[in-house]
Amino acid sequence: MPTVSPQRLAVILGGLIAVGPLAIDTYLPAFPAMADSFGVSVPRVELSLSFYMLGTALGQLVGGPLSDHMGRRKVGAFGLSLFVLCSLLIAMSTSLEQLYGLRFLQALGGGATVVICAASVRDHFNGTDAADVLTRIGLVMLIAPLLAPVIGTVLVNLFDWRSIFLFLAVYAGLMLGVLGGWLPRMPAVRKSRASLGQILAAYGRVLRHRHGMGLIVANGLAFAAMFAFITDSAFVYIEFYGVSREVFPVLFGLNVVSMLILNRLNVRLLRHFVPESIMATGLGVQAVTIAVLTMLATAGWLPLGAAVPLFAVAVSLVAIIIPNAIASFIHYFPSDSGAATAINGTLQFTLAGTSGGLFALFHDHSLAPMTLTMALCSAGACLALFWGRGGAREMVH
């Protein structure tokens, strides 16, 4: 493999992958304003998050294996271009239905951009080295959700919610230039032309690998548990607990600060433990924390002072779970890394979008639906990891 600076690669890929968190977190503070603009309730606006997640899943499903055959740059450039166009159209939307449709299309482009990032890491690094680079990428991209609600709040207060999507279009346009000028060139890992049969064969090789799929499913469910909170965070803090729109980014930002702390902790842990062991520990702690949250919320004994730190712990553990999970499963697929990361991303965003959409539809204006959803996802993640350990661990070429 060619020598590439892990710091440089992390900054470039972190900037690209930050398109996703920015597209999700920047408009969270604008939910009430968007609900007023469209004449609907906040939970109906929240459903646009689910459309984005499902679109991202499809974008990754198609973009991942295509990037194995066509190269990472071409797929990423198409995805960013589509993202820019749809962001501009969303800023001109006049109905909730238009918002849903355009967010889905915007997410197709975002998904094609996100999926090339982990695959690009596998092009250059493997094992613990890959986990270290993915952790560095996590540090870079965590700046996005930390700043995103603040940016969204400033924009919606100074202008209106539409300015948020103009901002997203500008950012994605800048990343299009970064992709073309700075991402190290690498030949396609599959020399043959992409065809439907070859794409399906790549997916088959990944899906038949029980140990790898256990890691992928566990990672997806842990992500879904986190996203359940993100989907409902505006309701939780602004409506349920009654905090102001200006205070919301501060409370939301505590989750990201916690992620940054665990991100740095993960770098130290990787010096002594293998990525899969760290991931398993993170899943266990997340499951226990969410179980406590669920019991307190169901009993109606969850004051704001307890909710904020418990949510921060439950959400921030993905900073340990996700990079170690990705590093663990892409190790097994050196020639199908795009397909493997596509399956991982598709599961992540499909599970997240489905879980968020379901509890939004059955929202009873309490914390119980969200915390129960988080609990089911977290328990499922632990079971998936246990199931996968019964499979073989050979690499697939």
* Dihedral angle sign, alpha carbons of residues 6, 10, 12, 13: positive
Structure tokens at 85: 């166009």
Structure tokens at 180: 């073309």
| CA R_g for the chain | 20
Q: Are 144 and 253 in contact (CB under 8 A)?
A: no
Domain membership flag for residue 59: yes
Domain extent for 145: 6-180+193-388
Domain membership flag for residue 396: no
Average pLDDT, the chain: 85
Structure tokens at 135: 């952790």
Instruction: Report the candidate in 83, 120, 320 with the shortest Cα–Cα distance to residue 223.
Output: 320
Domain membership flag for residue 73: yes
Full-model pTM: 0.74
* Dihedral angle sign, alpha carbons of residues 206, 209, 210, 212: negative
What CATH number is associated with residue 85?
A: 1.20.1250.20
Domain membership flag for residue 203: yes
Indicate the helix (H) or strand (E) that contains 131: helix 127-158
Instruction: Please tell me the total count of domains within the chain.
Output: 1
Structure tokens at 393: 């661990």
Helices (H) and strands (E) in the chain, counts: 16, 0
CA distance 175 to 142: 17
CA distance 339 to 207: 10
Domain membership flag for residue 185: no
DSSP class per residue in 152-180: HHHHHHHS-THHHHHHHHHHHHHHHHHHH
CA distance 200 to 207: 10
Q: Which amino acid is at 245?
A: R
Residues 108-125 have pLDDT tens digits of 999 888 877 777 776 777
Residues 239-296 have pLDDT tens digits of 899 998 788 888 988 888 898 899 889 889 988 899 999 999 999 999 999 999 999 9
Domain membership flag for residue 275: yes
Residues 27-64 have pLDDT tens digits of 888 888 899 988 888 878 888 888 888 888 888 888 87
Sort 387 into a burial class: Cβ within 10 Å, 0-12 / 13-18 / 19+.
middle
CA distance 243 to 21: 23
CA distance 312 to 300: 19
Instruction: Report the candidate in 376, 336, 329 with the shortest Cα–Cα distance to residue 352.
Output: 376
Domain membership flag for residue 188: no
Domain membership flag for residue 151: yes
pLDDT band at 397 (very low <50, low <70, confident <90, very high): low
Residues 154-169 have pLDDT tens digits of 999 899 999 999 999 9
